[in-house]
Amino acid sequence: MRMAPGEHRSVAFSDEAELEPVLAPFVHEGLAGRDKVLYVTDVTHPAVATGLLRGWGIDPDAYAGRLEVRTLGTSDPDVMVAQLTEAAHRARAEGYRALRFTGEMSWAVREGTDSLTAFETKVQALFDSGVAMGICQYDRRVFPPVTLSELQRLHRGTDVDLEFDGALLRIRRSVDPPGLELDGEIDANAVDELTRALTSAVRRERGDVHVDMGRISFIDLSGLRALVDTATSLKEGRSLVLDRVPEHVAQLVGLIGWDKAPGLRVRGGDARWSR
């Protein structure tokens, strides 16, 4: 994954196993290179985080003085950024290239969105100065979906194809076939985001717009309606193509009679789209 000083990413996870593919290479890379690593926890005990690192094949004892795991002592964004700034400058003074920071952001659920925005903006300024880089950890189980999608804007570098990253639903742009990939559950709470992503996909693409439904575990009537409304609003000659539609979802679409909706094509679960 290769990260350079100045970069600011985030990882949203629903259980600790999802941290590994992002954080393990981040830490490995820093230790293999010329960076110092700071892992800051909030609700997790530092010993647990140390255990996670060991599980990822990183022995903190072997990197004493270079890899530090500690608990956040404050919930004040100014104090936090001041501490990080100090740590980054110390790392530089000690001859390292930069400070690699990763931290649990669950404190922001207690402190509120304003504190979080203040932190993310200030820490971005620190990263921009070139002495540090970081990955903020967002636990989907504690952050409201709205906050998570808001945060996407502050971490644009992360994943440019990710259009929405909510607690229950992830929407990603796809290039081949052109359209969207949906992952998770769609209910009335996610419909606005889904509609927004569909509208921009329709505007972005010229021909058919594909929606990969293969990782949708649940969709309710309001979600189906958002798909159908998008399909029926398309100009003659274009279609909204639902790929890898789960069996029970295809059945629901048929019951409602939307399988015959103009502009909508529903494809079954087994056949992946032909390239």
Partner 1 sequence: MEQMIHQASLYGSDQEFLEMAVPFVRDGLANGEPVLVTTTSGNLELLGEALGEDASRVDHAETAYYGRRTAQRATAFTRYWRRNSGHRRVRILAEPVWQGKSARDVLAWKRMESGLNVLLDDTGIWMICPYDTRSVGAGIAEDALRTHPSVSADGRTAQPSATYADPHDFIGRCDAAPLAAPPAGSVSAPLDEINDVRRFVAEEARRRGLAEESASLLAVAAHEAARYLGTPLTAGIWESFGAVVCDLRRPGKAISDPLVGFRPPGPIERAEDGLWLARQVCDHVDVRSDATGCTIRLQAAGPRLQTG
The angle at the Cα of 210, spanning 206 to 213, to the nearest 5 degrees, equals: 165
As measured in angstroms, the least distance from the Cβ of 7 to partner 1 is 34
Q: Which of 43, 246, 265, 273 binds partner 1 (CB under 8 A)?
A: 246
Least CB distance to partner 1 at residue 249 (A): 8
Q: Which range binds partner 1 by CB under 8 A, 20-28, 96-104, 197-205, 245-253?
A: 245-253
Do 89 and 48 touch, CB atoms closer than 8 A?
no
Near partner 1 by CB under 8 A: residue from 93, 176, 257, 275:
257
Nearer to partner 1 (CB atom), residue 13 or residue 218? 218
3-state helix, strand, coil in the chain (%, to 5): 45, 25, 30
Taking the C-alpha atoms of residue 174 and residue 212, their distance in angstroms, rounded to an integer, is 9
Q: Which helix (H) or strand (E) holds 126?
A: helix 113-128
Q: Euclidean distance between the first and final Cα of the chain, in Å? A: 27
Considering only 24-32, 65-73, 152-160, 219-227, which stretch makes contact with partner 1 by CB under 8 A?
A: 219-227
User: Considering only residues 164-203, where is the footprint of partner 1 by CB under 8 A?
Assistant: 168, 185, 187-188
Report the distance separating Cα 66 and Cα 91, nearest Å. Answer: 9
Is the Cβ of residue 28 or residue 225 nearer to partner 1 in the bound state?
225
90 CB contacts (<8 Å, ≥6 apart)?
none
- Report if residue 248 touches partner 1, rule: CB under 8 A: yes
Contact set with partner 1 (CB under 8 A)? 168, 185, 187-188, 218, 220-222, 225, 246-248, 251-252, 255-257
